[in-house]
Amino acid sequence: MKIAVWLVLFFGGSTAMGQVSLEITPIGKTPKGFNRVFSKKVDVLGVTVFATRNTPDMKVMHAAHVLAQYLDNNRDGNADNERVVKALKESKGAVVMFATEQEAEKVDVHRHIPEDVWDDMMLVALYGEETHPGGAVRGVFDATYEEVLHLITSAGYANAYPNIFGEKPGTEIANAMDNARGGRFLRVPRAYPQRAWYTYDDRTCNYGCQITEYIYWGLTSILGAQDFPDRLEEISVEWKLNTAAKVKFGDPSLYKLLTDPMYAFPTILPDGKYNPQKEAPDGG
């Protein structure tokens, strides 16, 4: 899935203004068969968001803007971590959007898209019905923060830094997660130790998946996405550190990894309004 993003550079005397505008465009014919399921796309810094005809354009654009803000958090028109974007491209990472979960379930993907094409990509699904721009203001969580970040960390960071963020036992992020869960559990345990603060209990989520979810909980908590009325009560069955302060003092290993400038994780929560501009140094 790709979200169409057009990069336009304006050059003048001593300055250059860079602006990235995101636009919905027709799907085209690649990847093979995608045009039989999806009708539109947005390309964002080389990563794409694909969407079905029934997915509202507003929801598609919101997902594209959040993706762009995650990748270019300092809003200078360039990816903050080119190594991660390169890994995303090499993994053929993309977001696929359906209007509803019911719509997605009705689609026989492999009837239209060759299995080897679909399985060769790293895809995350996002439903229009769970995409809520400005949702926190209304006390509604916007799933865009989660699904788009899953793609970036699982297809991007895990491959760009396999010894640090690799989704397997023994990496630095895995060791931090083992501590947060109260032990190394290759399978979800029937009950977590009482001291654990990360207690995701979906038995369909394997060890690598648990790491993906762990980074999501940590980073969105640091950025403030989990800090609104009644949210902690809602998520405490899985995660207990819903603010930056709680992560910093309750899980210092995770906090250190996610705030290390070397890895260029976002430091500002996306708001779905990506409109970067930059000025080049004098003489540029």
**pTM beyond cutoff 0.75:** yes
Q: Which residues of 42-71 are buried (b: 16+ CB within 10 A; e: fewer)?
A: bbbbbbbbbbbeebeeebbbbbbbbbbbbb
Domain ranges across the chain = 5-263
Nearest 5°: CA angle at 139, between 134 and 145? Answer: 50
pLDDT digits (tens, 9 = 90+) for 17-49: 344 679 999 998 789 999 999 999 999 999 999
pLDDT digits (tens, 9 = 90+) for 57-103: 999 999 999 999 999 999 999 999 999 999 999 999 999 999 999 99
**C-alpha of 57 from chain center:** 19
The pair of three-digit structure tokens given for residue 198, joined into one six-digit string:
């990360």
Average pLDDT of the segment spanning 224-250: 95
pLDDT digits (tens, 9 = 90+) for 45-57: 999 999 999 999 9
pLDDT at res. 134: 81
CA–CA dist 140, 134 (Å, integer): 8
pLDDT at res. 177: 98
Report phi then psi at 247, rounded to 5: -65, -45
Q: First vs last Cα of the chain: how many Å apart? A: 35
